[in-house]
């Protein structure tokens, strides 16, 4: 299955395993809660989805790469204790608590989260001395003499033998006690993620035309050659930063991330063309409403690959506008939540400044707790920081006019929030205008056939765009989308016939 389905399977498992009866006991006892083993090639996101799942389910996460551990750190160190049996005292070997089990208890103490995921990476690559401990861990949920606390789902990950010489096969007895999920690279699923996390448009548009290069793993006389989703994402981050710092990303730099000579060379060549098209077709001017007739003719007669690159540039600008609107909407929702707290605390006697300071203090504590517990994404943290900044600005303004009573202060804050909301509406209008300019260009260039289908399809591929597009006032999106749905239905009918 693909990584998206695997993520959902784990979330469903958490919901099932953590379900409690009327006495507060787990419906499925801990001993019957099978560990999950994710098997899949490297770089497809097995580790990354663990952080996403923990955030989305609001549970703890303790993560270890087991190949970095020795037998002692995994099961604990031996020590001699005294015990009495049948009236006689004996010296008995016991073990200190495993570092891994101790980390779970520390996580629970630090965050207050009593349930979570224990994630063990590269579990099938352990050393020979540690292998028996790993089998015991999967079968009995213990490290040495110490059990994994109840309410913690065990998820392990490993690579198939063809990708790692250190891989050892688990026996049938062990495999019969776990849930095995085999994960494969899937470009369509990754593309959703790429749009949602704002990966560089050159990477997305290139892979749209060269899907076979999304994931490659080859063995040659020179060793392993590979391209992985992890490599494309890290390269995308570098490209975005390089544009800001005006650094050149050439074939040698690409090869550091995409360690496959042929693919690295091909993408480096494409990247040069991508930047050239951005200049030649005056993309910035298009989104100011300025259409050049000669450029319209040029793109109409260009090769299909060139037209796809131009589409990628248009999509990038439209997506950027929509993402700004979505981001601003989330910031407004967070700010509105803070102001509702202020409203609930407001009285005719308390100082507005004092109440706002209380709201800020609570928001900061909440943010720090979530961040420390690993439950806060960068986007969510930005919403907190933006909301806190706005409240601090309100406080400074209120301090400049001490004549306002609590009710007048409340009305003043409402008006400032209204100004902030107007800024949000302007961002939303700007995003809609970008969509309008894109349609103007495509229609003026006569790209209303296959290119328009691709444009509409790619817009809808971004889950962050969907809600925005539903409320969008650009009628042409709905018109072309309706035609696209009609074509898809027609193709299905013909296929059945």
Q: How confident is the model at residue 471 (pLDDT cuts 50, 70, 90)?
A: confident
Residues 6+ apart with CB under 8 A from 268: 249, 250, 251, 254
Alpha carbons 17 and 15: distance in angstroms, whole number: 6
User: For 156, phi and psi rounded to 5 degrees?
Assistant: -115, 155
What value does the mean pLDDT take over residues 425-429? 92
Interatomic CA distance for residues 364 and 4, integer angstroms? 33
User: What pairing do the DSSP bridges indicate for beta strands 78-85 and 142-143?
Assistant: unpaired
Euclidean distance between CA atoms 314 and 310, whole angstroms: 6
Residue scoring higher pLDDT (484 or 257): 257
Q: What is the rounded average pLDDT of the residues 286-304?
A: 85
User: What does the pLDDT average to over 363-374?
Assistant: 88
| pLDDT on residue 485 | 64
| Digit-coded pLDDT (tens) for 51-69 | 888 888 888 888 887 776 6
112 burial class (0-12, 13-18, 19+ CB within 10 angstroms)? exposed
For 214, phi then psi, to 5°, come to -60, -45
pLDDT reported for residue 407: 84
State the pLDDT at residue 494: 60
Q: Could you tell me if 355 and 412 are in contact, meaning their C-beta atoms sit under 8 angstroms apart?
A: no
- pLDDT over 90 percentage in the chain: 14
Q: What is residue 70's predicted lDDT score, i.e. its pLDDT?
A: 65
**Mean pLDDT computed over every residue of the chain:** 84
The string of pLDDT tens digits covering residues 77-127 is 777 878 778 888 888 777 677 778 888 888 888 888 888 888 888 777 776
Distances (CA, A) of 347 to 132, 306, 354, 493: 65, 63, 11, 65
Stretch 362-375: mean pLDDT, rounded? 88
- pLDDT at residue 497 greater than cutoff 60: no
pLDDT category of residue 162 using cuts at 50, 70 and 90: low
């Amino acid at each position: 299955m693909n990584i998206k389905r695997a993520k959902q399977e784990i979330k469903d498992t958490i919901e099932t395993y953590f379900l409690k009866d009327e006495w507060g006991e787990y419906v499925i006892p801990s001993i019957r809660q099978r560990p999950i083993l994710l098997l899949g090639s490297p770089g497809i996101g097995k580790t990354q989805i663990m952080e996403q799942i923990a955030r989305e389910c609001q549970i703890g996460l303790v993560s270890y790469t087991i190949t970095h551990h020795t037998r002692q750190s995994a099961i604990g160190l031996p020590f001699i204790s005294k015990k009495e049996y049948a009236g006689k005292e004996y010296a008995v070997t016991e073990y200190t608590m495993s570092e891994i089990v101790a980390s779970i208890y520390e996580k629970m103490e630090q965050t207050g989260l009593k349930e979570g995921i224990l994630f063990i990476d590269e579990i099938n690559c352990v050393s020979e001395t540690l292998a028996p401990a790993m089998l015991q861990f999967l079968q009995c949920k213990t490290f040495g003499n110490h059990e994994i606390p109840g309410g913690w789902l065990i998820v392990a990950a490993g690579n198939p033998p063809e990708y790692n010489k250190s891989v050892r096969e688990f026996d049938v007895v062990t495999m019969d006690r776990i849930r095995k999920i085999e994960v494969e690279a899937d470009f369509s699923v990754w593309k959703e993620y790429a749009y949602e996390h704002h990966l560089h448009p050159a990477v997305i548009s290139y892979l749209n035309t060269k899907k076979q290069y999304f994931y490659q793993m080859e063995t040659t006389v020179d060793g392993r050659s590979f391209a992985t989703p992890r490599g494309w994402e890290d390269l995308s981050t570098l490209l975005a930063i390089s544009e800001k710092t005006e650094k050149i990303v050439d074939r040698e730099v690409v090869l550091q991330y995409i360690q496959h000579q042929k693919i690295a060379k091909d993408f480096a060549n494409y990247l040069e063309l991508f930047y050239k098209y951005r200049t030649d077709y005056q993309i910035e001017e298009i989104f100011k409403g300025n259409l050049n007739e000669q450029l319209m003719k040029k793109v109409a007669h260009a090769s299909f690959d060139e037209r796809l690159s131009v589409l990628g540039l248009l999509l990038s600008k439209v997506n950027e506008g929509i993402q700004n609107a979505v981001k601003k909407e989330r910031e407004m929702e967070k700010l509105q939540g803070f102001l509702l707290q202020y409203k609930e605390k407001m009285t005719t006697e308390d100082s507005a400044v004092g109440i706002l300071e209380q709201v800020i203090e609570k928001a900061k504590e909440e943010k720090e707790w979530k961040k420390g517990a690993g439950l806060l994404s960068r986007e969510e943290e930005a919403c907190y920081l933006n909301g806190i900044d706005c409240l601090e600005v309100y406080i400074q303004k209120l301090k400049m006019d001490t004549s306002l009573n609590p009710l007048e202060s409340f009305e003043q804050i409402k008006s400032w929030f209204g100004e902030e909301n107007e800024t949000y509406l302007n961002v939303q209008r700007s995003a809609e205008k970008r969509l309008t300019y894109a349609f103007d260009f495509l229609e003026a260039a006569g790209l209303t056939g296959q290119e328009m289908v691709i444009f509409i399809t790619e817009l809808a591929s971004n889950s962050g765009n969907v809600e925005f597009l539903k409320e969008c006032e650009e009628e042409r999106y709905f018109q072309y989308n309706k035609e696209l749905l009609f074509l898809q239905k027609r193709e299905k009918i013909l296929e059945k016939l």
